[in-house]
Amino acid sequence: MILPRRLTMVLDRVPLTVVQRVADLVFQQAIKQHPQLFDRLGTHAGKRYRFTPADLDLSFVIEPQRKRIKVYRKKATPTVDAAAAGPMVTLLALLEGRLDGDAVFFSRSLTLTGDMEAMLALRNALDDCGFDLPTDLAPAAGPFAPVFRQLAQRVREHALAGIA
Amino acid sequence: MELICPAGTPAAYREAADAGADAIYCGFRNDTNARNFPGLNFSTPELVEAVAYGRARGVGTYVALNTFMRAGDEDLWYRAAGDAVAAGAEALIVADMALMAHVAERYPEQRLHVSVQASASNVDAINFLVSSFGARRLVLPRVLTIPEIAAIARNVNCELEVFAFGGLCVMAEGRCSLSSYVTGQSPNMHGVCSPASHVRYREDGEDMVSELAGFTINRFGPGEPAGYPTLCKGRFHIAEDDGYAFEDPVSLDVMNHIEALADAGVTALKIEGRQRGKAYVAEVVRRLKDALNSAPADRAQHVEGLRLLSEGQRTTTGAYEKKWR
């Protein structure tokens, strides 16, 4: 499922600093709740990974060991150890382990480049650690956590139905 | 028939157990199992937890120690066997006869299954493993037709398990060294076929090119379903032809032959795929369990759609029907 053009046009106009703050919040919240991620990554935690949503002019570079995420416009993306590109919804579904990475690869919806050992380690680590974005991020919404979680789950349900 | 399901991680184990697996096979994070991939597999404490999770739901845990021991490193395999027994595994799945002997001598009460990697594909070989090591079950290599399986079942004194769904090897299980020719590592000795450290993908125009240890092994055109980067499923230029010399990127599916397999004497069906994600495990286990619980005429509807999750997005009955001879 590709994000609707009207939505991508809006998202691509959001200043990078704002996207960076949101990405930081999501990333820090997620790794705080799933520290076991690093155990499975082993030495690959020190590598740099890039995730590029095909439908957005954004690129996310993650450094697990440094617990850092950095957002770039596509043309300014730095060199990394391993990279994956595909529709934003597909990347998020893979993050949560709701899609099988091999099946998505076979379908050619996902492009992989670079250090495949590192990428495979990250895939397997993510698959095991049970990210659930609506639940993981809900605490950040404070008193609105239940509403946020419910809304996010509905959005996810709709998005996943678009992939199936 | 018993449905044996794969788990590469504790999360996949839980998904398989919740989706209806009768037993789940898994392995340790080292060279002792034939899916020794980065980030995959179980630590000893994780195995202990998994066994408990399975037991609480009536699901058995089989631990795959299905690589061949390297000279001088035997202790790694012996320790793994001891850890699996201590964790309470219902069965150990073993390929190396020396490890079978070790398990039979040290843990005579432990249920022993012979791995597909042992490549035991005839009555004499199977009877030898049963009488020598007390093997209770044998996983048959994917080289036999259903009538051949029936002929074996009539003459052996152990349970027979066959692969029913998932990845398909080039039919030389336990003996394949293709990967080691270019990477120095093989599924038999290191638990990896085409180790990820040697795999690279690159975009060439609209094509996707897969490389193993610097060798181009396949090129997929725009939109063409891809396969694993294994040499056996590489495309080769031979004489004037370009194509798959060994095997197409395709997966096994014999769910339309369940009655014939049961009649042949098969007691357990195995799903391949410890390297797959928990989403795949949950979906395949649930659908195959539903299929097994359905009348034959209704079976196809449960399995429909799994093809899209398969390598090359195609399935085959492989040697079970052996249409090529």
The string of pLDDT tens digits covering residues B197-218 is: 999 999 999 999 999 999 999 9
**DSSP letter at B116?**
G
Judged by CB atoms closer than 8 Å, whether chains meet at A101 and B200 is answered as no
**Cβ contact B174:B116 at 8 Å:** yes
Q: Is the confidence at residue B175, as pLDDT, over 90? A: no
Residues in A touching B201 (Cβ below 8 Å): 111-113, 116
* Alpha-carbon gap: A15 to the closest alpha carbon of chain B (Å): 30
pLDDT value of position B188: 85
Selected for mutation to probe chain A from B43, B197, B233 (highest A CB count within 10 Å) is B197
Q: Quick one: pLDDT at residue A31?
A: 87
Contact indicator for A84, A77 with CB cutoff of 8 Å: no
Are A111 and B203 in contact (CB < 8 Å)? yes
Query: Hey, where are the domains in chain A?
Result: 5-131
- Model confidence at A2: pLDDT above 90: no
Give the domains, in start order, of chain B with CATH numbers: 2-168+250-320 (3.20.20.70), 178-244 (no CATH)
Pairs of residues, one from chain A and one from chain B, whose beta carbons lie less than 8 Å apart = 105
How does the average pLDDT of chain B come out, rounded? 94
The whole-model pTM stands at 0.94
Q: Report residue B171's pLDDT band, with 50, 70 and 90 as the boundaries.
A: low
The answer to which of A30-39, B165-174, B243-252 has the lowest mean pLDDT is: B165-174
Say whether B57 sits in a helix, a strand or coil: coil
The beta-carbon neighbor of B277 closest among A100, A114, A129 is A100
For residue A120, the chain B residues in CB contact (below 8 A) are 37-40, 196
Q: Which residue has the tokens 């990475």?
A: A101
Give the dihedral sign, CA B154/B89/B277/B2. positive
Query: Distance between CA B187 and CA B195 in Å, rounded?
Result: 9
The answer to whether the CB atoms of B39 and A122 lie below 8 A apart is yes
Mean predicted confidence (pLDDT) in A147-161: 91
Instruction: Look at A104 and A35; give whichever has higher pLDDT.
Output: A104
With cut-offs at 50, 70 and 90, classify the pLDDT of residue A55: very high
For residue range B68-120, what is the model confidence (pLDDT) as tens digits?
999 999 999 999 999 999 999 999 999 999 999 999 999 999 999 999 999 99
String of DSSP letters for chain A? -PPPHHHHHHHTTS-HHHHHHHHHHHHHHHHHH-TTHHHHHGGGGGS-EEEEETTSS-EEEEETTTTEEEEE-GGGPPP-SEEEEE-HHHHHHHHTT-S-HHHHHHTT--EEEE-HHHHHHHHHHHHHHT--HHHHHGGGGGGGHHHHHHHHHHHHHHHHHHH-
CA A11 to chain B, closest CA, distance in angstroms equals 27
Q: What is the pLDDT of residues A63-84, one digit of tens each?
A: 999 999 999 999 999 999 999 9
CATH architecture of the domain covering A5-131: 2-Layer Sandwich (3.30)
Q: What is residue A164's predicted lDDT score, i.e. its pLDDT?
A: 63
Span B38-53, average pLDDT: 97
Chain B residues at the A interface, defined by Cβ less than 8 Å, are 8-12, 37-40, 195-197, 199-203, 208, 220, 223-228, 249, 275-280, 283, 308-313
**B139 strand-pairing partners:** B161
Hey, are the CB atoms on A102 and B196 less than 8 Å from each other?
no
In this prediction, the answer to ipTM > 0.95 reads: no
